[in-house]
Structure 1
Amino acid sequence: MQTHGLGSWLPRRRLRNPDKTALIHGDGQQLSYAQLAHTAEQISAILAEHGIRDGDRVAYLGENSPEFLATLFGTVRIGAVFVPINTRLAAPEIRHVLADSGATVLLHDPEFTDRLAPVLETLDVQVVQTGASGRHGASGLSRLLATAREVPAAVETSPQHPAAIVYTSGTTGRAKGAVLTHGNLTAVALNCIVDYDVDSNDVALMISPLFHVASLGMGALPVMLKGATLVLEKGFEAGRALDLIEQHAVTMMSGVPTTYQLIADHPSWSTTDVSTLRRLTCGGSAVPSRIIEAFEARGLAFTQGYGMTETSPGATSLSPAMTRAKAGSVGLPHFFTDVRVAAEDGSPAPTGEIGEIQIWGPNVFAGYHGLPDASAAAFTPDGWFRSGDLGRLDEDGYLYIADRLKDMIISGGENIYPAEVENVLTGLEGVTGAAVIGVPDDRWGEVPIAVVTVRDGVRVDTDTVRAALTDRIARYKIPTRVIVVADLPRTASGKVRKNDLRERYGAG
């Protein structure tokens, strides 16, 4: 087993504690580490039969499930690269991920068959459907797993070997694939084990989708590496989450502010036994004080942080003990990560002054798939990742975010880049210009709205625009409101002054 890669994790776990419960899913079904390791090996055999070799890409479109994780580990075991697809993407967005990544095999859940139909008409990709039955009468994954086959030898992988390509929302209207290596994902898992005190006796509830790198890199992988137990949920429902916490004595949970708000608002919140919970992590945006107070009233506190897909994704972490003392901060760099703030000339910004946040560490990605120029531009000459975000460091080294890259909107933990939505809007009949901004929302933190200009005689309203964008982009990216104006405010160079739009329309 001469490998430093993720593919060795399950075999090593099988040697150490084969009967330990790795996964709990559905209505209480359990898989041990030995069973999960066996399933991953069988999937690697299935992939090998489909011609997958070292360096090939394997895509997965599906909800949280044992098959998701087994496919990840089965893929990397033979040196292939895992490409998780956001299940909320529309068909054109899925097509882009498959085509851009060069995936030659796609595994998907049956509920996505209709959405994939137009995609697969134009792409040469082999398809394996989860469940017993596949497409056009073919055997599904569960039936294939039951067929004995020769398991291929594991491929020796170095920390620099690509493990996954995770697509980020495009700042220029085109999603880019961030290449995360075995070393990147191992480093972020180790950071979490150190900074979050992950223990082999932990039981972690996973209600956020694993196709997000935060859920995968900072949720599932640290648990797998430590040999703890993961409770996998296909989706999130506050009442069921509370039931699972009590039923399985959950000790760890991660989510976004909306998740925790819905839990605190649920009628069962005050009567559910949450005494086993010892670690709540929250990302996506700052936790509002009303949520902090609701959980503190029950003896619970949050770990907050900052990061992005390119950092696998964790960059900083704010411990619960510092939530009040460092209110507004996203914390200190993770244990094996460094963060600095640079002035415009690239020199270190003085303490307390705002500059670009730059990140270095073994968790920082290898670059963008197939985009050498964009990859080179993402790093400073001395090798630090340029986040594009603005922030400041205080005298104790705690990071504070001042502004976000290119007006990115975070809605319910999902990143929305306005340029991507604006490109689609300006493609609609009669729309001559568009600007998308985020406005506050009690449930989602922020939601996108669109301010547009239209050709004379054209009628555009919220309902018609939303209907036109359905099935073209993910639902969470579709503006909740469309405002028609005579002209968009612009700078002398022609750029839209979005700050002006926020001042006028930002109250929601």
Structure 2
Amino acid sequence: MHHADAGACELPDSGQSLVQAPPLAGEPGQGAHTIAGYLREVARRHGPSEAVVLRKGDHRIAWSYNELLARSMEVARALVACGIGKGERVGILMTNRPEFLSSLFGTALAGGVPVALSTFSTPQELDHLLRASEITLLLYEARVLKKDFGAMLRELEPMIATARRGELASAHFPYLRQLVALGGLRGEAEPFAVEAGGAVETWDEFVAHGTGIADDLVLARADGVHPADVGGIFFSSGTTSLPKGVVHSQRAFAVQWWRWPRLFAMHEPVRSWTGNGFFWSGNVSMVVGTALSTGGTVVLQRVFDADEALELAEKEQVTFLNGRPHQWARLQASPKWAGADLSSVKYVPRGELIWQHPTVNTDWEVPMSFGCTETMTICTSFVAGDTEHGFEGSFGAPLPGNFLKIVEPISGRPVPVGTVGEMCIKGPTLMSGYLGKAPEECFDAEGFFCTGDAGRVDEAGRFFWEGRMTEMIKTGGANVAPIEVDDVIARIPGVKRTQTVGVPDDLLGEMVVACIVPIDGAALDEATVIASCKAEIASFKVPRRVLFFRDEDYAITGSEKVKSSEVRALAVARLAADNAEAVRPTLA
């Protein structure tokens, strides 16, 4: 198939919904396609410039590009000394702090595979993540808010407290040999020290292992890593009850990092802020790419706090804010909102609320894009400000190297152009697969990933998203699998049936709502259900509302399954009625 230029997609003459983008090799702005190669290239370009900043109170940590590379090499030397070989997995359980980035890049430099683990994890979730990821070494932050991860880990495996360092031999975590704990930061209200001992050592002890390792050895390892090799692993809620491990290649990271500035029309060093965890692929992709690919700065906030975020935006002259609509609402509600100077802000995806601030003045247009964890964020997009190829309601054309098709879900056959079907995609940033799954369980016979999203394409090859074909709930930018919530609720005494659904919500996109049929005579209330969920699953998965129904209210299939679409409609109607009832007395 011939491609006329680097920006045009092509459809076959058959009239089917098959769209092939131009080759990746022709995409402008691309550089090295390994994680370590990317860091070394941006460090060569921007060495003494400020790359990473973390401010806490009056204390400010700032690393240049040269220092980010040096700190990453420090981690890499330590990993080599600890015996990490090519392809071995290193867990990173941290908030947004400079050590997260030095751990990510350092693991890649040593030839290992970084595995990003959520700091929202409950003990049960962390247990699953550690077992499923099969990491050899864990780099973790000892305490995050009220969570003591050191205590949590010792509870999951008591041998951690007694094993010699580097010699953990646990049947429960059979691959895990060593744990490294990071303490608090200066400037925190309650700084704390690491409780080392047993299989756990401090960060300084860990780094000291690498003093005898030559840089040449590390760089030789980095040179031996190929773009197609495994680059990292993220976990995403799927259609099953447990998070799925999404395996990405080296080039998936690098390709996206390089392309963000082109798509966002960024022509100057960008100061990119985030208060959301780097264990989400979209966050680490977008924030690192917009900042480091432009010679700019990653401005870190360990945990989102609206007051602090406004202060950071002002003091650090942030130009790019990467958050979610419900966080923008919290910024607006902050007492510091009115007096904040946000005049530096230029780029805000989904940032309508931010643009209402009197000091924000930008003509930047958000390029509509579509993607998911499995495609390492975006796979279709416009370029910001490209009025020639833009089209209202479209999410852009497939990005270079990608091949998109719209199929009839049951037969898998491509549908005619303009017809709605399931969107399927393959290309250079598509995942290598799911942990523990065979290729045929991840992709169709042609190697496409079928997203579970409904959509169509037009004659120009532009993609139009029509909603979710699956039951996944998208709340506040995160995915929630209903069955994961229902598995918890089903174990609560007195629950006969449970169906968790996503109800449209202006703030969150979708609100998680649990719909329950109690056993006759059972005394269940909303607070009890929510408390039970909070004890077992991450906070963003916990239902915001719990509604109670009778069996006859539900639409039950012949196989005793609940029709989720009808339950969702019931929930919407009930909530609307409750809201109307709440408003009526005030109108009277």
TM-score (norm: length of structure 2):
0.78
Of the three residues 81, 96, 100, the one matched with 1:49 is 81
Please tell me the residue identity of whatever aligns with 1:113. G
How large is the RMSD of aligned CA atoms in angstroms?
2.7
Contact 2:180 2:206 in 1 (8 A): no
Contact 1:128 1:134 in 2 (8 A): no
Partner of 2:262: 194
Structure 1 segment 466-481 matched on structure 2, within 5 A? 466-481=530-545
Of the three residues 280, 288, 295, the one matched with 1:227 is 295
Partner of 1:426: 490
Distance in 1 (alpha carbons) for counterparts of 2:440 and 2:394: 30
Partner of 1:109: 141
Structure 1 segment 362-377 matched on structure 2, within 5 A? 362-372=428-438, 375-377=439-441
Partner of 1:88: 120
Contact 2:73 2:218 in 1 (8 A): no
The residue matched to 1:406 in structure 2 has which SS? coil
CA 1:263 to 1:349, structure 2 compared with 1: closer, same or farther past 3 Å? farther
Please tell me the residue identity of whatever aligns with 1:407. E
Distance in 2 (alpha carbons) for counterparts of 1:35 and 1:304: 35
Contact 1:206 1:220 in 2 (8 A): no
CA 1:320 to 1:67, structure 2 compared with 1: closer, same or farther past 3 Å? same
Distance in 1 (alpha carbons) for counterparts of 2:489 and 2:204: 42
Distance in 2 (alpha carbons) for counterparts of 1:119 and 1:371: 26
Distance in 1 (alpha carbons) for counterparts of 2:77 and 2:344: 40
Of the three residues 202, 214, 222, the one matched with 1:140 is 202
Please tell me the residue identity of whatever aligns with 2:155. P
The residue matched to 1:356 in structure 2 has which SS? strand
Partner of 2:10: none
The residue matched to 1:94 in structure 2 has which SS? helix
CA 1:292 to 1:20, structure 2 compared with 1: closer, same or farther past 3 Å? closer
Distance in 1 (alpha carbons) for counterparts of 2:83 and 2:522: 52
The residue matched to 1:281 in structure 2 has which SS? coil
CA 1:36 to 1:115, structure 2 compared with 1: closer, same or farther past 3 Å? same
Please tell me the residue identity of whatever aligns with 1:259. Q
Distance in 1 (alpha carbons) for counterparts of 2:500 and 2:386: 35
Distance in 2 (alpha carbons) for counterparts of 1:12 and 1:329: 34
Structure 1 segment 261-300 matched on structure 2, within 5 A? 261-282=329-350, 291=353, 294=356, 298-300=360-362
Distance in 1 (alpha carbons) for counterparts of 2:368 and 2:486: 31
CA-to-partner distance for each residue in 1:291-329, whole Å, 9 max, x for gaps? Answer: 387369944443443211100021233556589x85544
Q: Is residue 2:544 matched to residue 1:464? A: no
**How far off is 1:274 after superposition?**
3.1
Contact 1:4 1:157 in 2 (8 A): no
Of the three residues 422, 426, 442, the one matched with 1:378 is 442
Mark the runs of 5 or more structure 2 residues left unpaired by the alignment. 1-31, 144-148, 159-171, 184-192, 576-588
Distance in 2 (alpha carbons) for counterparts of 1:327 and 1:476: 31
Of the three residues 313, 319, 329, the one matched with 1:245 is 313
Partner of 1:400: 464
Distance in 2 (alpha carbons) for counterparts of 1:355 and 1:425: 33
Structure 1 segment 5-20 matched on structure 2, within 5 A? 5-20=34-49
Please tell me the residue identity of whatever aligns with 1:130. L
Partner of 1:123: 173
**How far off is 1:470 after superposition?**
2.5
**How far off is 1:41 after superposition?**
1.3
**How far off is 1:109 after superposition?**
0.7
Contact 1:292 1:302 in 2 (8 A): no
CA 1:371 to 1:295, structure 2 compared with 1: closer, same or farther past 3 Å? farther
Higher relative contact order (CA 8 A, sep 6+): 2
Distance in 2 (alpha carbons) for counterparts of 1:251 and 1:237: 18
CA 1:257 to 1:400, structure 2 compared with 1: closer, same or farther past 3 Å? farther
Distance in 1 (alpha carbons) for counterparts of 2:296 and 2:402: 24
**How far off is 1:452 after superposition?**
1.9
CA 1:190 to 1:419, structure 2 compared with 1: closer, same or farther past 3 Å? same
**How far off is 1:426 after superposition?**
1.7
**How far off is 1:265 after superposition?**
4.3
CA 1:259 to 1:322, structure 2 compared with 1: closer, same or farther past 3 Å? farther
Mark the runs of 5 or more structure 1 residues left unpaired by the alignment. none
**How far off is 1:416 after superposition?**
0.5
Please tell me the residue identity of whatever aligns with 1:332. A
CA 1:278 to 1:304, structure 2 compared with 1: closer, same or farther past 3 Å? same
Of the three residues 563, 569, 576, the one matched with 1:503 is 569
TM-score (norm: length of structure 1):
0.89
CA 1:192 to 1:295, structure 2 compared with 1: closer, same or farther past 3 Å? farther
Distance in 1 (alpha carbons) for counterparts of 2:136 and 2:111: 14
* Further displaced range: 484-493 or 130-139: 130-139
Partner of 1:169: 237
Distance in 2 (alpha carbons) for counterparts of 1:292 and 1:109: 32
* Further displaced range: 266-275 or 407-416: 266-275
Of the three residues 315, 322, 328, the one matched with 1:254 is 322
Contact 1:42 1:149 in 2 (8 A): no
**How far off is 1:398 after superposition?**
3.4
The residue matched to 1:58 in structure 2 has which SS? strand
Distance in 2 (alpha carbons) for counterparts of 1:500 and 1:92: 31
The residue matched to 1:506 in structure 2 has which SS? helix
Distance in 2 (alpha carbons) for counterparts of 1:238 and 1:368: 35
**How far off is 1:19 after superposition?**
1.2
Contact 1:341 1:393 in 2 (8 A): yes
The residue matched to 2:356 in structure 1 has which SS? helix
Partner of 2:213: 150
**How far off is 1:66 after superposition?**
0.7
Partner of 2:164: none
Distance in 2 (alpha carbons) for counterparts of 1:8 and 1:320: 27
**How far off is 1:413 after superposition?**
1.4
Contact 2:276 2:283 in 1 (8 A): yes
**How far off is 1:45 after superposition?**
2.1
Contact 2:77 2:218 in 1 (8 A): no
CA-to-partner distance for each residue in 1:405-437, whole Å, 9 max, x for gaps? Answer: 421112211110101111222233332321001
CA-to-partner distance for each residue in 1:386-418, whole Å, 9 max, x for gaps? Answer: 111111224444333222142111221111010
Partner of 1:71: 103
Distance in 2 (alpha carbons) for counterparts of 1:134 and 1:405: 47
Partner of 2:423: 357
Contact 2:348 2:354 in 1 (8 A): no
* Further displaced range: 156-165 or 390-399: 390-399
Please tell me the residue identity of whatever aligns with 1:250. V
Distance in 2 (alpha carbons) for counterparts of 1:405 and 1:10: 38
Distance in 1 (alpha carbons) for counterparts of 2:325 and 2:462: 21
* Further displaced range: 202-211 or 449-458: 449-458
Partner of 2:54: 25
Partner of 1:485: 549
Percent identity, aligned pairs only?
A: 29
